[in-house]
Chains A and B, each alone.
Chain A
Amino acid sequence: GAVVSQHPSRVICKSGTSVKIECRSLDFQATTMFWYRQFPKKSLMLMATSNEGSKATYEQGVEKDKFLINHASLTLSTLTVTSAHPEDSSFYICSAREQGSSWNYGYTFGSGTRLTVV
């Protein structure tokens, strides 16, 4: 089946620094990838939709300049948390849809990245 690899799985960074998270579709091409944020005991909140070769679409309330998304190829999307602060600490998860799969349920999720900002 489709596999999405997310790296790193865990990262600790100092306040004010930037962190890059990678999301790769290993065995399929993904023109669209999605980035979610999940707080403890909370649902996944969609942050942005990443489109290959074009600008990402951000959800209302998500700061574009803080969460930079780049989808440079059909298999790689990156999320950079810039000037991280402790309130950015969270679990970040990406997902990708294989071409031809359902737009409603055909998504494969990465294993997530636990970001801790100290």
Chain B
Amino acid sequence: QKEVEQDPGPLSVPEGAIVSLNCTYSNSAFQYFMWYRQYSRKGPELLMYTYSSGNKEDGRFTAQVDKSSKYISLFIRDSQPSDSATYLCAMSNTGKLIFGQGTTLQVKP
């Protein structure tokens, strides 16, 4: 079993839709949960991070962590074509990042 599981998609939605991206994990020691966005042929950029359980909101983006279920989510409201990218979840407790596979999202105008 992989430490972090993420559906690779692809996920295609119309502009303005609410997007839900998810990851599950097996290591209960993870305390930090990150979401990265990666455009084609580029390195990942940090979107949001959450410590332990709870929600965090930043503009159109909301990150949720449910440690009891070992499940994290990223919601994107009012999705835009510019949101089209691969979204990777990552987790850490010791400074070593463990990444999910990444979900490819396409937002169609």
Contact = CB atoms under 8 A, between A and B. Distances in A.
B80 interface: no
A78 B45 CA distance: 21
A105 B46 contact: yes
Interface string B44-64: 111001000000000000000
Interface in A54-96: 91, 93, 95
Interface in A84-118: 91, 93, 95, 102-105, 107, 109-112, 114
B97 interface: yes
Interface string B16-54: 000000000000000110101000011111100100000
A54 to B, nearest CB: 17
Specify which of A43, A44, A111 lies most central, judged by the most chain B CB atoms within 10 Å of its CB.
A43
A41 B34 contact: no
Interface residues of A, number: 22
A44 to B, nearest CB: 5
Contacts of A93: 43-44
A103 B95 CA distance: 5
Contact of A41 (B8, B32, B92): B8
Contacts of A111: 41-43
B107 interface: no
B27 to A, nearest CB: 14
Interface string A30-45: 0000000000011111
Nearest to A41: B8
A43 B43 contact: no
A51 interface: no
Contact of A104 (B45, B88, B92, B99): B92
Interface of B: 4, 6, 8, 31-32, 34, 36, 41-46, 49, 88, 92-97, 99-102, 104
The 4 closest A-B pairs by CB, nearest first: A109-B43, A103-B95, A104-B32, A43-B99
Interface of A: 4, 6, 9, 41-46, 91, 93, 95, 102-105, 107, 109-112, 114
5 contacts: A41-B102, A43-B99, A44-B44, A104-B93, A111-B43
